[in-house]
Amino acid sequence: MKIKRMTKCTNALPLVSLTDIVMTVLLFFILTSGAAQEKNEPFINIKHKTEVKDKKIKSFELDIDKEGNFFYKKNKISKDDLRRELLLCGCNNVTMRVDRLVPIIFVVEVMNIAANLGLSTSLKEAEK
């Protein structure tokens, strides 16, 4: 007795080659995603200039160099003197003029001092 076998025609994709393609594309994206990111440098990247246009904002302009020294009106001041000057000046904003090579830790220190005193902060690119 002969048994008829039904042959099935399917329009399916071969899954073995599909997994190879998916793994190749995934590996490509993993390897190239790191190249698109910037290096994790502890430096500041200023892409725009901050200008205070509101007349009610009195700004305290502070220069920071790449060694972490603070300058107010071209005079070097310490962190304690900076805190004292900020209390006495009656300003409500601290504008920091920094170069690109200034490590961000120095900017964060000034931001913390200003935040403790209830002042806002802004960045400005230093003149060359």
CB atoms within 10 A of CB 62: 22
Do the Cβ atoms of 71 and 63 come closer than 8 Å? yes
pLDDT tens digit sequence for 80-97: 888 998 888 888 888 888
Instruction: Give the C-alpha separation, 44 to 125, whole Å.
Output: 10
Task: Give the pTM.
Answer: 0.56
- Would you list the DSSP string of 41-80? -SB----S------TT--EEEEEE-TT--EEETTEEE-HH
For 71, phi then psi, to 5°, come to -130, 130
Q: What is the pLDDT of residue 31?
A: 83
Structural domains for the chain = 59-125 (3.30.420)
Give the pLDDT score at 76. Answer: 93
What is the average pLDDT value for the chain, to the nearest integer? 78
What is the pLDDT at residue 12?
A: 67
pLDDT digits over 113-123, tens only? 888 888 888 88
